[in-house]
Structure 1
């Protein structure tokens, strides 16, 4: 093969660092964007947080400060006087010989710092509502219980086998095998059962149960003996839990020998029980949503505004930028590089805000019916519709609408929520899947509890409104909304 040199002219898209940075900022969520901005401020001396330096704003702020200073000082003086009077009134002239300072004067503390002995309304659940796990909560109670060393080893093995929902995940034989590895311990199955029954009396009620029936029975047994309908409730949970789960109330009334009114009262008592008691103790990670845009209505016009609090206003430090010509070549090069990076970063932020505003404004324009009338008026919309309207690529629209949230009078929604597929109607129009879900939820909310609507019946009712949807599609939408099937929705009025 002969080697040769050839010249060829072609065009190709190159991902420059500036373009990569703009795409990265565009797809960041609000919280991630704040972290990215803070990292840029820490690494680039040219960037600084902008402050309002206008004379009018400063004078107005000074006037406000001067107006607020005097009442604040006076209120502080009054508070100090009242505190001094409280001290003088709370301390008697003569103290008993064997008294302590804490016995006479109790310092003012916040409710969160009061101990359980000082607070009569102290709740074990509130004590454990921080980052404490269910195992920590059970071990804390175990340390307060009188047990032998052998029973404590068994109890620790049982606690370790409890799932976060409070259910015991291992059999008695497995727990026995785990503690029988120690040759110094001679443990039998009856001992494991005895310790298990003791742990089942711990808080929360129903913990360490091996199945749902045992979990409910533990909670019923901890109720006072004079609780109304306690005996029939225990009988139903013990012998007819399968009928209760299938909502076969006619068979349940025959088997338990109660009438309909009595069964209603028994079911009310059973519904007060918690099938997953560990959830009320296990810590939950709370995620906070910060809206990127606000949508408000002013005189029949929907206005879209960026959230001014999602990111600090940045600017280039003029003092450092002016040192470019005064420093040595090495320092000057360092300043120029950081200055260029700061300008790129600010331009990328501005581009992100402009793109977000364009997309959010078009979404509000398309989905004005939703803002006016609710989910049933949601129009079908796909990424291509917005991309064509704002003259951008669909991938850009996808990045903009991911993890970005809009605050509307109807609530906070992710921008992707407004996109949905469509179903053709008999009149030749289109209906969005979101509107169909809203109609399904509305029909189920208005159904007769004794005879819930089946998926086939919902399909027929929607067909009467001109919306042709298959039964399996109704089932898919219903499951997505976490609505049980008709046989599980059946209940006594």
Structure 2
């Protein structure tokens, strides 16, 4: 083999750290971006919040030190102005009302000072006649002590606290009280006791058989007490037991007042709760009637009674953090009739107002010495972060303008007028890549005259029509939902019937496609939608 030297020229794409950060910021949701900004403010001393809008040119970079990141989808001009679209098919010129989406929008700071807590208990001086109550003043002129709505949502009482408070009124010995407290803490969010009593006892007693038997006895006593507390059905070990507890609680205090028919229906319902829950879910009247030795009419009445019960007693106590959807883009109507236009603007409440700390940057520039290289890198990171946030919102606005322009019918007539739209169409129009459009439309929301929806909502595949045109899958789903809403509950529409009704509207949609769309809309099958 002969050895030799050769020269080869090749090109490859290298993702710089700045470009990687830009791509990552683009796909973050509003909440994730807020967390990212908080983290950057903590880590980088050159970055600070500002109440005023900083000029965009203030963040221009010295390209002699670090080359600007380039991407195949960044050749377009990020104008940052709002745009208007007309209700007709031809796009109108940009609106005279423009707003610059500078990415330095205020991050809402709490109005109170100190450690972030609000004192809700009035002091001694507030008991006078002229004293004003402090704390939870939620009116429009609430001064500087407003309570955040999220904090109020989080301050609700938990299921365990509610049960412990009821247990205080019970006269129990120390062992039963401890057992009841242990069972309360063992409940899940729905109010169910997932582990069996022997399993709970074995976890505490270990290999001590005498202690195990004693614990099981105390747990059995405590379980009966727990199931007598509010909310009714708490402490059940499965759905059937939960429903049975609630059914027994429906019995009137004076049994003589209960009619024979009502007593029989409740008895049948209790028997149904002992059967497999699959039969109840399928509403298998004949099978349930056979197992409970009742007639179908009694089974139907019993199922109606069961339908009014709460399958998850702890539902109202679950302290889930409310995922409040804050729109990134706001679309408003202007004008009427032929002059109807839609104004697209970024939501200023989701855009952080950031700037480079002038004093620190000036001090670094004036005194360059040991360690200045690391600080210069931190300064450059702050500038890149602000620039990438600006570019993120510019891209979101451009994509939103293109969506509104192509889906004008939706903004005029609603989801039934939605047109087919795919990512490639927006990407080709804006000169961006499809992956960029996908990142922009994921977890980003638009406030429209018909509610707040995700940007991906406007994209849908096309279904053929008899006229040779196309119908959006979003519009077809809306039409299916409309058919189901207007159906006779005693004779619900099957998927085949819905398919035929769509064909009458000129839309070719197979039964399987109807079933797929129905499941996506979380609509039950026809046999489960049928009225009892």
Structure 1 residues 293 and 335, CA gap change in structure 2 (3 angstroms): same
Structure 2 residue corresponding to 1:437, chosen from 477, 486, 503: 477
Instruction: Indicate if the aligned counterparts of 1:154 and 1:179 stay in contact, CA closer than 8 A.
Output: no
2:314 match: secondary structure:
helix
Aligned partner of 2:223 in structure 1 is: 196
* Superimposed CA distance per residue, residues 210-261 of structure 1 (whole angstroms, 9 cap, x where no aligned partner): 443432232233243368775244123123467865446799999767979x
Residues 231/298 of structure 1: CA separation in 2 closer, same or farther (3 Å cut): same
Unaligned runs of 5+ in 1: 55-80, 88-106, 113-126
SS of 1:294 mapped into structure 2 = strand
400, 416, 431: which one aligns with 1:360: 400
Q: Secondary structure of 1:329's partner?
A: coil
Instruction: State how far apart, in whole Å, the 1-side matches of 2:304 and 2:154 are.
Output: 27
Taking the aligned partners of 1:134 and 1:164, their CA distance within structure 2 comes to: 8
Check whether the contact 1:166–1:276 (CA below 8 A) recurs between aligned residues.
Answer: yes
- For the pair 1:382 / 2:422, whether they are aligned, the reply is yes
Deviation of residue 140 (structure 1)?
4.8
Task: Give the TM-score of the pair, scaled to structure 2.
Answer: 0.69
In the alignment, the residues of structure 2 paired with residue 83 and residue 461 of structure 1 have an alpha-carbon distance, to the nearest angstrom, of 70
Q: Which residue of 2 aligns with 1:68?
A: none
1:103-114 paired onto structure 2 within 5 Å: none
The 2-side partners of 1:21 and 1:477 are apart by: 37
- Structure 2 segments unaligned to the other structure (5+ residues): 55-124, 138-151
Query: Size of the alignment, in residue pairs?
Result: 431
Of residues 243, 248, 251, the one that matches 1:221 is 248
CA, structure 1 residues 429+157, in 2 after alignment: closer, same or farther (shift >3 Å)? same
Name the counterpart of 1:327: 367
Contact 2:187 2:194 in 1 (8 A): yes
Match of 1:22 in 2: 22
Which structure is higher in RCO with an 8 Å CA cutoff and minimum separation 6?
Answer: 2
Higher normalized helix content (fraction of residues): 1
Deviation track 1:421-444 (CA, whole Å, cap 9, x = no partner) reads 222222212222222211111111
Q: What SS class does the counterpart of residue 350 from structure 2 fall into? A: coil
Contact 2:286 2:296 in 1 (8 A): no
Which sits farther off after the overlay, 293-302 or 149-158? 149-158
RMSD: 3.9
Q: 1:275 aligns with which of 285, 307, 311?
A: 311
Q: What CA deviation, in whole Å up to 9, does each residue of 1:331-362 have, x standing for no partner?
A: 65456444433332332222212211111111
Q: Partner of 1:165 in structure 2?
A: 190
Larger radius of gyration: 1
Q: Is 2:311 the partner of 1:286?
A: no
Shift of 1:194: 4.5
Provide the residue aligned with 2:171 in structure 1.
146
Does residue 298 (structure 1) correspond to residue 325 (structure 2)? The answer is: no
- The structural deviation recorded for 1:167 is 3.0
Calculate the TM-score normalised by the size of structure 1.
0.74
Report the secondary structure of 1:9's partner residue: coil
SS of corresponding position for 1:380: coil
Structure 2 CA distance for partners of 1:199 and 1:41, relative to 1, 3 Å: closer
Using the TM superposition, name which of 248-257 and 273-282 deviates more.
248-257
Residues 457 and 155 of structure 1, relative CA distance in 2, 3 Å threshold: same
CA–CA distance in structure 1, aligned partners of residues 176 and 128 of structure 2: 55
Gap change, CA 1:451 and 1:366, over 3 Å in 2: same
Query: Contact between 1:478 and 1:484, CA under 8 Å: does it hold in 2?
Result: yes
> Offset at 1:385?
1.3
